[in-house]
Amino acid sequence: MKLATWNVNSIKVRQPAVVAWLKETIPDVVCLQELKCTEDAFPAVSFEELGYNCAVHGQKTYNGVAILSRRPIEDATPRLPGDDGDDHARYLEAIIPSRQGTVRVASIYAPNGNPVESDKFPYKLKFLDRLKSHAQQLLKLEEPTALLGDYNIIPGPDDVWNPELWENDALYRPESRSAFRAIQYLGYTDAFRACHAQTHQYTFWDYQGGSWQKDHGIRIDHILLSPQAADHLTASGIDKNVRAGEKPSDHVPVWCEIDI
DNA sequence: ATGCCGGGCGAAGCCCGA
């Protein structure tokens, strides 16, 4: 089963690119982030024509997450527990039947958190703490679980072209990196890092300043696997070529293959 | 180091992202 995540930065603008990528790579499950639209405006038909079911947790202008699946989508559940006052559409979880049993997947759009002096940074850290608590609850189920998405965290100095320039950025602050490690310490595996030792493999390049041409990127889109999923991990990759296409998102897809 | 880029909204210019 091939699982993927992609922050599309507006599904309305990116719909042709997503369709082309789906046709080329044929993932079984895709988690999308930054739809920037409500569920009504989500272009589900163009994905259904390719054989995908869609579950959408939308929001006008900001955020918005979705799950596409070639298999049925069961129990699609929006929102991360732990703060009923949080109305951002940043989390959608669902159960997907596999050949043997099921896989639980989540599409996650963690807050950016900049500037760090603003209330956006504590909001980010609180969201990540809620994600950790929920991830801990999910471990008790002892199921194959994949938490896919834009975590907005650079895990370490090898995941950015020039870490010195990011020291006071919310994506690289010690508090953010610590929060990402804390989820892994619960028992989750970074799928890409488990498959690749190469450093400086990026998932995001800023539109500005020729970042893509200079390969000045960051690795912030991640797939975390529960032990029952990680035990069957066979491959992972970053579809970097997508960044060179027509009207690209600033993020590219990250995927993993689990033999379940 | 930032908003030079790109998108939303809405019809100019501001908000937001990373």
| Shortest-distance nucleotide from A218 CA to C1' | B18
Residues of the domain holding A18: 2-258
| Shortest-distance nucleotide from A248 CA to C1' | B6
- CATH code of the domain in which A114 resides: 3.60.10.10
A151 C-beta less than 7 Å away from strand B: no
Enter the tokens of residue A37.
């639209």
How, if at all, do strands A2-7 and A29-33 pair? parallel
B6 C1': nearest CA residue: A207
Q: How many domains does chain A have?
A: 1
For residues A61 and A229, what is the distance between their CA atoms, to the nearest angstrom? 34
A62 C-beta less than 7 Å away from strand B: yes
A114 C-beta less than 7 Å away from strand B: yes
* Å separating the CA of residue A74 from the C1' of nucleotide B18: 33
User: Has this prediction a pTM greater than 0.85?
Assistant: yes
A61 C-beta less than 7 Å away from strand B: yes
List bases, strand B, within 7 Å of protein CB: 1-9, 16-18
B17 C1': nearest CA residue: A112
* Å separating the CA of residue A198 from the C1' of nucleotide B9: 42
* Å separating the CA of residue A208 from the C1' of nucleotide B3: 8
A112 C-beta less than 7 Å away from strand B: yes
Q: Token match 């002096």: residue? A: A117
What per-residue confidence (pLDDT) applies to A68? 98
A190 C-beta less than 7 Å away from strand B: no
What per-residue confidence (pLDDT) applies to A100? 85
DSSP-assigned states of every residue in A159-183: GBS-GGGGTTSTTTSHHHHHHHHHH
Average confidence (pLDDT) per 10 residues, chain A, 260 residues: 98 98 98 97 97 98 98 98 95 95 97 95 97 98 98 97 94 97 98 97 96 97 98 98 96 97
- Burial of residue A173 (CB within 10 Å: 0-12, 13-18, 19+) is buried
